[in-house]
Amino acid sequence: MQEELLDIARFWLDRGVDGFRLDTVNFYFHDNELRDNPPLDPAHRNDNTAPSVNPYNFQDHLHDKSQPENIDFLRRLRAVMDEYPAATSVGEVGESQRGTQVQAAYTAGDDLLHMCYDFDFLSNTYPKGTQVAAVLTRYQQIVTEGWACWAYSNHDVVRHATRWNLSEEARRTYAALLMAIQGSVCLYQGEELGLTEAYVAYEDLQDPYGKRFWPKFKGRDGARTPMPWVADQQNGGFSDERPWLPVAMEHLERAVSVQDREAGSTLAFYRQMIAFRKAHRVLQKGDMRVVEAEDGYLSLIREHEGVRLLCAFNLSNGARPVDFPPGEWRIDRGAPFKCKTDDRGTVLPPWQACFALAESG
């Protein structure tokens, strides 16, 4: 089986794919003795990787995943991938209790996965500044050799604009935060359009998960509806034929064809913020240190090759002054945000961000 999988990987790498996303990457082996998982203490249960109605959450998954043989296979896969230039891998870690530890084990060194993501920012927990700081601090303490890939939304969870009930301004600030923290960034289709979770009627459901647990859990199809490309075309320009899931009518006003014409659109913002990240190598490669963390405010410093970049985020509905660490800081106006500076200092209006540069030392 392993040889067949490695041959399939070679088949696609020979055809020029850039790499692979490995779904539930820690699920590939189970316990050789087929031991049952013990029950999980209810105090430790959460719905990070499975809905609360799923009995899967009632077990402590010690024997059906994250087995040591898995690492041996990933090492073999990486050896194949290293035969091809610039091929990369990202693993999805499906683990509600030990996700960061699995990330560390699966990305340590240079002979395993290039990066992994778990469900810290894919959960229902609202990402207050203190919560984000706690995740980042834990990550830095545990993943000392590896590399993370961060995401807010994917095909398994309610879109984060809906899940966290974010305003348009909040979506943009959290997007900037995602692109400022150490690690790679994964943007889910439609996120750059500001799409919210779509309502999918029971008779239109395709997800077996939703059919099984309806109505307590309505499945994942609300995040999987077609991408709206052209507002005034059939099926939003996604297909001339009936798609697998219906196009959400409320998504049409956010179609690419609409936002392409608007300088202040969500799509334009994402393009600007991605360009800003690409323009600063410190955001791509730099070390990271959390400076301040409050529920409604977070600041951190990225540092690389003699350059420091302060990234400050107002995650609240009120104005917030920026507290600069010691140094000669110069605000970088290239980011698509507004911060006000006068004789009294620099102030962030609600849901705004500030980026400032200084030399190390």
The answer to whether 311 and 304 are in contact (CB under 8 A) is no
Give how far the C-alpha of residue 295 lies from the chain's centroid of Cα atoms, to the nearest Å.
Answer: 20
Among the listed residues 23, 204, 295, 323, the single catalytic one is 23
Nearest to 175 by CA among 163, 187, 183, 164: 187
| Cα 23 to Cα 54, 94, 118, distances in angstroms | 19, 8, 11
User: DSSP for 137-195?
Assistant: HHHHHH-SS--BEE-S--TTS--HHHHTT--HHHHHHHHHHHTTSSSEE-PPTTGGGTP
How many CB atoms are located within 10 Å of the residue 139 CB? Answer: 23
Angle at 331 between CA 309 and CA 169, to 5 degrees: 90
Among the listed residues 3, 33, 83, 343, the single catalytic one is 83
The answer to whether 222 and 198 are in contact (CB under 8 A) is yes
Residue 23 bears catalytic tag: yes
Residue 232 bears catalytic tag: no
In which region does residue 241 sit, left (phi positive, over 0), alpha (psi from -120 to 50) or beta (all else)?
beta
Question: Catalytic positions, please?
Answer: 23, 83
